Each structure stands twice: as structure tokens, then as C-alpha cells.
């Protein structure tokens, strides 16, 4: 077999970001494996343009290196594309180097928020990567696959290498896609879909479940959010497209619960109302989650969402310290947040709070104010992330003035304290992080709520017991970290 690429073929890879052995014991991965929506959306668009694609999701299948190697030799793609966050970028560069040894003439391209934020800088020192895609990737990647790699300076939205190897940047794309013109993501290209993919345990009532996206962008400009891919624009699918998408997932794949992975699902109220009414008539019984901002919720809308199957809403709280929140978020109002959280619960919808620890300006006192705030609210669940200053976020440019920042891309995954605010230590943050979670889960109301999941989300309990060893190991590790707690 000739080891040369075949024109018009693209292999798309979602890199794992760390070693396969470590992945098997990774509790975060056990608890949540989401389909790479962006990658399979690209695959669907390329197929629509007549370009053959294959997809490998190394996050869902950690032993995927052999599969990538087989496809390089059998499928022989012209392009090998990676969709990356900051933490998985170095793994993509590593896989690209291995690929070029197996298929020397393959062109490698990487996209995602990391490349969109750093642009030319992202390729510096990574010779295995030929191109980077900035911003929305469908049309840029299609042009590249159709032969644009021969004259990359003419392809908008691209980082390419000049003759001397120096990364260069073309201009941004002048036209954004109408989202209703997009085909549904190519879910069928994911091995094991939908069974291989799971929402976080206790975050859904039934399986199989999945995620989808119905909008792009966010109009807000909080200090910690990267907006380099879509800017501050907000575009969305129509309610008609959304209901067709939902019905497709239910009828083709048997999906029974969906998570809308939009930044701001309820920003356009009329769209949500139309979608909910369509759900009542065309997809009764299917349940779903979404994320929202407090400003865009009210009792009437929540009642309609509940009737249409909304099972849980995630709301960004970030911190329960009002002064710290005001430094980092537009329209910071903890009283409004508390009111809306109680409103969500009154509508009969589960409530998940999203928080961060370690923001610039954080102190032990501010963390304890967050604890007091969260424990006083009727939250059913919460997620506490370790603040990470990502490239592309407003805070990134001057974060080193506000504390100590170890810019180790492989660890910038919100699971490590890479930034230490001035006046705090890593050990102090780890201790408080452990205490925050432990005190939440040890409260009788929360323990009872998780007990009721035996009948409200039986699949969650099944998964928990199947991976009990990993969860117990994680809990034991956390106990050791918090041993100095009083």
C-alpha cells in the first residue's frame, strides 16, 4: 500500500490530553464524557461539501493511538485535524508528530479556543503542526481540505507557515454561517455513540443521554471567559431547527435526555418559548438540561420549561463574595442570583451552581463567604472549578500582576491550581477546596437527595458503583489533602 495521502480526505481527532493509563483512573473522566460536538459538526460540514471524514475521540477511547495509526495507513487522509483546549494542545502536537512518521506527507491542522486566542504563537516551537484554524472552523477547514493548503495565504481564518517556517496569520473570515444551514453533527462517526458518552452522574434522569449545542457565542465579557472563537456575538438556531435536532437524536439514537451545552440557552426568550411549545407537542417525555444567566429567567418561562421537560438548570455563581464577584463579572448581583435559584426550585427544576475558587483577589475570607452563601441556597448540586487564566480571557493579559501563574498548558484544565492569588498558597487553596466539597456533600439534605437518585436516576447509581474504587480513591486523596482542616 502506498504511504501517500488521498486528496479530499480528513481525519479528525479529539486528543485525550494526557496518558491513557492515567485516564483509566481519572474520576473526572469517569463522571463525565461529553461528545466532541465541535469536531463532529466539522465532520458533518465537510461531508456535506463532498469531503470524506473519519473521527477518533481519544477522550472517550483512551487507547485510540492504534486506531489513529490504522486510519492514517488505510484511510490516508490529506489532512489530520485536531480540536483542542489549552490542556490538550500539547497532546495534539505529540500525535501530529507520530502521524508524520507514519504518513510523512499528511498535513496537520489544529483548531479550538487555544489557537484562536494565541494565533501565530500557538504554532511556535511545534513543528509537527502545519496549520491553525482561528474562530469558526467549518469553511476554513473545507477550503484547506479542498486544496487550500497549497496557497494557505489565500484562506481566511488561518495560521500557516511561511517558507522559512515562521507562523503567519491571514485575516478573519468575513462571513459567519447561518446556523440553521448546518447539518446535524455527525454523531454516527463516534465509536460507541451514544452509550460511550455520559453526562455527569446525578445530572440526568435517564440513559442514553447526550449533549448538543443550539447557539454560538455570548454577549457578556466576564474577566475569566475566553471569547476568542466567537467574540461577543450571539447567534442561535431557530426553534424549528432545535426540535428537528432533538427528534433526530431520539429517533435515530434512542436518546432520552439531552444537555444543551450553550453558554446562554435562555438569552433569546422567544426562541425558548417556541422550542418549549414544540417539545410539548412533538417530543413529549424527553428531558433536558441547560445553562442560563439569572437575568434571563422568570416564573412564567420556568413553568413552561418545566412542562417541556427541563430537568436541571446550571447557573453561574462563580463566588459568593460580592466584592470579588464585582471585580470579575458584569452585572454582579448575589441577591438576584439567590432569588432566581429559589425561583428555579419553586418551578420544580433541579438547580446546579457553578463556582470557581482562586480568582485574582481571592482570600480565605472570601472562600468562606462563598461557602456560607452556597450552603444557604437550595442548590441540588454544584461544581467548583479551580480558576485557570486561559489565553483569550481578559484577565490573562495581566494575571501575573495579581499572583503567581505557572503557565503549564497540560495542567490548565480547571483541575489544578496553576494560578495562586497574591496572599494565598497552593496548600491553602487545596485545603479549602476539599473542605468546600466535603461540607456540601455531608449535609443531610444533600445526602438524602443523592439517595433519592436510586429511583430518580438509577443509571447514575449504577455508574457510581461500577467505578466505586476510583471514587473512593479520589475521596481518600481529598481526605489527606484536607487533613490539616479544623
Q: Which has the minimum average pLDDT: 61-70, 405-414, 419-428?
A: 61-70
More confident residue, 260 or 7: 260
Mean local confidence (pLDDT), 198-210: 95
Q: Report which of 324, 322, 317 is spatially closest to residue 351, judged by C-alpha positions.
A: 317
Mean local confidence (pLDDT), 363-374: 98
Cβ 51 vs Cβ 93: under 8 Å: no
Residue for cell digits 481526605?
A: 479
Cβ 433 vs Cβ 386: under 8 Å: yes
Q: Looking at the domain 9-159, which fold is it?
A: Rossmann fold (3.40.50)
Which class would CATH give 199-460?
alpha beta
- pLDDT (tens digit per residue) in 280-329: 999 999 999 999 999 999 999 999 999 999 999 999 999 999 999 999 98
- pLDDT (tens digit per residue) in 125-156: 999 999 999 999 999 999 999 999 999 999 99
pTM score: 0.93
- pLDDT (tens digit per residue) in 187-201: 999 999 999 999 999
Same CATH topology for 9-159 and 199-460: the answer is: no
Domain boundaries defined on the chain:
9-159, 199-460
Q: What's the pLDDT score for residue 190?
A: 97
Amino acid at each position: 500500500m502506498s504511504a501517500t495521502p488521498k486528496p479530499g480526505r480528513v481525519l479528525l481527532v479529539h486528543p485525550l490530553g494526557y496518558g491513557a493509563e492515567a485516564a483509566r483512573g481519572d474520576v473526572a473522566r469517569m463522571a463525565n464524557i461529553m461528545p466532541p460536538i465541535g469536531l463532529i459538526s466539522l465532520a458533518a460540514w465537510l461531508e456535506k461539501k463532498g469531503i470524506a471524514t473519519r473521527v477518533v475521540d481519544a477522550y472517550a477511547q483512551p487507547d485510540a493511538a492504534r486506531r489513529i495509526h490504522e486510519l492514517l495507513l488505510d484511510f490516508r487522509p490529506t489532512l489530520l485535524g485536531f480540536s483542542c483546549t489549552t490542556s490538550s494542545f500539547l497532546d495534539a502536537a505529540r500525535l501530529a508528530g507520530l502521524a508524520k512518521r507514519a504518513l510523512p506527507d499528511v498535513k496537520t491542522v489544529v483548531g479550538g479556543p487555544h489557537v484562536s486566542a494565541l494565533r501565530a504563537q500557538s504554532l511556535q516551537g511545534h513543528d509537527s503542526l502545519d496549520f491553525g484554524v482561528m474562530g469558526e472552523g467549518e469553511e476554513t477547514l473545507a477550503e484547506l481540505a479542498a486544496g487550500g493548503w497549497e496557497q494557505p495565504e489565500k484562506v481566511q481564518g488561518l495560521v500557516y507557515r511561511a517558507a522559512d517556517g515562521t507562523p503567519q496569520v491571514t485575516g478573519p473570515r468575513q462571513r459567519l454561517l447561518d446556523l440553521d444551514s448546518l447539518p446535524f453533527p455527525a454523531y454516527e462517526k463516534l465509536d460507541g455513540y451514544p452509550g460511550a458518552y455520559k453526562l455527569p452522574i446525578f445530572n440526568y434522569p435517564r440513559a442514553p443521554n447526550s449533549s448538543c449545542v443550539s447557539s454560538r457565542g455570548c454577549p457578556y465579557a466576564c474577566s475569566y471567559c475566553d471569547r476568542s472563537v466567537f467574540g461577543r456575538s450571539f447567534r442561535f438556531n431557530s426553534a424549528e431547527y432545535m426540535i428537528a435536532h432533538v427528534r433526530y437524536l431520539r429517533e435515530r439514537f434512542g436518546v432520552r435526555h439531552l444537555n444543551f451545552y450553550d453558554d446562554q440557552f435562555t438569552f433569546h426568550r422567544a426562541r425558548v418559548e417556541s422550542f418549549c411549545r414544540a417539545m410539548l407537542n412533538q417530543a413529549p417525555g424527553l428531558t433536558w438540561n441547560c445553562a442560563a444567566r439569572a437575568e434571563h429567567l422568570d416564573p412564567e418561562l420556568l413553568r413552561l420549561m418545566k412542562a417541556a421537560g427541563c430537568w436541571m438548570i446550571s447557573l453561574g455563581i462563580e463566588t459568593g463574595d460580592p466584592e470579588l464577584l464585582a471585580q470579575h463579572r458584569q452585572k454582579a448581583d448575589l441577591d438576584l442570583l439567590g432569588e432566581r435559584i429559589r425561583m428555579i426550585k419553586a418551578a420544580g427544576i433541579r438547580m446546579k451552581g457553578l463556582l470557581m475558587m482562586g480568582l485574582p483577589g481571592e482570600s480565605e475570607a472570601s472562600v468562606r463567604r462563598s461557602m456560607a452563601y452556597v450552603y444557604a441556597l437550595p442548590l441540588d448540586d454544584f461544581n467548583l472549578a479551580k480558576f485557570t487564566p486561559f489565553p483569550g480571557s481578559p484577565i490573562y493579559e495581566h494575571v501575573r500582576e495579581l499572583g503567581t501563574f505557572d503557565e503549564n498548558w497540560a495542567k490548565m484544565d480547571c483541575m489544578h491550581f496553576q494560578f495562586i492569588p497574591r496572599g494565598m498558597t497552593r496548600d491553602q487553596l487545596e485545603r479549602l477546596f476539599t473542605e468546600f466539597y466535603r461540607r456540601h456533600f455531608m449535609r443531610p439534605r444533600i445526602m438524602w437527595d443523592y439517595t433519592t437518585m436510586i429511583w430518580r436516576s438509577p443509571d447514575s447509581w449504577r455508574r457510581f458503583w461500577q467505578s466505586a474504587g476510583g471514587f473512593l480513591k479520589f475521596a481518600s486523596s481529598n481526605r489527606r489533602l484536607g487533613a490539616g482542616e479544623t
